Structure 1
Amino acid sequence: MQNPTTDARTHYRERLAPSLRLLVTVALAGPMVSLIFVPVGSTVALVVGAAVSAVLVTLFVIATPVVSVEGSVLRAGRAHIHTKHLGEPVTLTAEEAREARGPGLPARGWHLIRGGIDGVVVVPNIDQADPVVSWTISSRTPDRLAAAIRASQS
């Protein structure tokens, strides 16, 4: 008897990287730190400032969460759930997304929300044993994420 093959290919993957505005703001910490080292020497201050900027920007990019649908598992940051436990995903943009991220956000839901990302996918959790009622996930391409969830459910 052969081992059954599982569908482990990635249907969707998105890194919720910070916006360019945030990365520039973080990079400005380097020149501020370099001012501390000016009395030591201008070359030292320049090197330390550039290093601080590079390290902070790199850490901000590496620390960003990833949303993916791999096989039949939805991963949103550190959390994951089998897609058989999920209902029909709803894509929201503009005013509807603002409502879903703000006043319409369920208290018992799983949230992965990032500022600067307009789109949101809301997926109800149909598992009765799970206290989480829905998943609210920011996405730059909410239509593609919802389509990947639907595809992994079938």
Structure 2
Amino acid sequence: MQQATETYDERLTAPRSWWVIAVAVGISCALMLLPLGTLPMLGGLIGGTALASVMVSSYGSARVRVVAGSLVAGRARIPLTALGTPEVLDRDEALAWRTHKSDPRAFMLLRSYVPQAVRIPVTDPEDPTPYVYVSTRAPERLAAALTRQPPDALGS
């Protein structure tokens, strides 16, 4: 008996420049509190950097996985049986689907710092969501994983 294993796993981490910005926010907080003394300045540096780092970390913690016959994108878990054929989007096409081509009913796990994406139509007639848009650094690998459904996925 073969267990279902993950066929795709990606974390959409924030770019390094965002961490530099988090430190800059901490320095800005320290400068704002400098007239109040050394301790408030240090508190502003530590508190501002910590708060900005938590925000960058939480935004950059989104995961995209294909496991056990499902697409897991952020907090959403969608069975592969409810999805159509994935479409790999290059930089320009992904931008178009994020802006003027987008549908407000679509489920979108997008990160502006990831230029490529995959768009997957939702084929379930009961679901009003027309498609799923997922930012990814490896769109071809994700599309391949979405089309390779494990044999035991239909039974689970």
Task: Place the TM-score, normalised by the shorter chain, in its bin.
Answer: 0.7 to 0.9
For 1:16, which of 12, 16, 22 is the aligned residue? 12
Count of residue correspondences:
150
Rounded Cα–Cα distance in structure 1 between residues aligned with 2:2 and 2:144: 23
Q: Distance in 2 between matches of 1:59 and 1:97?
A: 25
Instruction: State yes or no: 1:149 paired with 2:146.
Output: yes
1:92-107 matches, cutoff 5 A: 92-107=89-104
Say which is worse superposed, 52-61 or 88-97, in terms of deviation: 52-61
The yes-or-no answer on 1:79 pairing with 2:61 is: no
40-49 or 11-20, larger mean C-alpha shift:
40-49
Distance 1:124 1:6 in 2: 28
Q: Which residue of 121, 124, 129 maps to 1:124?
A: 121
Cα separation, partners in 2 of 1:108 and 1:58, compared to 1, 3 Å: closer
RMSD, aligned CA: 2.2
In the alignment, is residue 33 of structure 1 matched against residue 33 of structure 2?
A: no
Letter in 2 for 1:152: Q
Residue 43 of structure 1: how far off its partner (Å): 5.9
Quick check: 1:49 aligned with 2:48? no
Moved over 6 A (4+): none
Deviation at 1:67, TM superposition (A): 1.2
Q: TM-score, normalised by structure 1?
A: 0.83
Q: Which runs of 5+ in 1 are unaligned?
A: none
Give the Å deviation of 1:121: 0.2
1:135 alignment partner, SS class:
strand
Following superposition, the deviation at residue 44 of structure 1 comes to 5.6
Shift of 1:111: 0.9
Q: Identify unmatched segments of 5+ residues in structure 2.
A: 152-156
Which residue identity lines up with residue 84 of structure 2 in the other structure?
G
Distance 1:75 1:88 in 2: 16
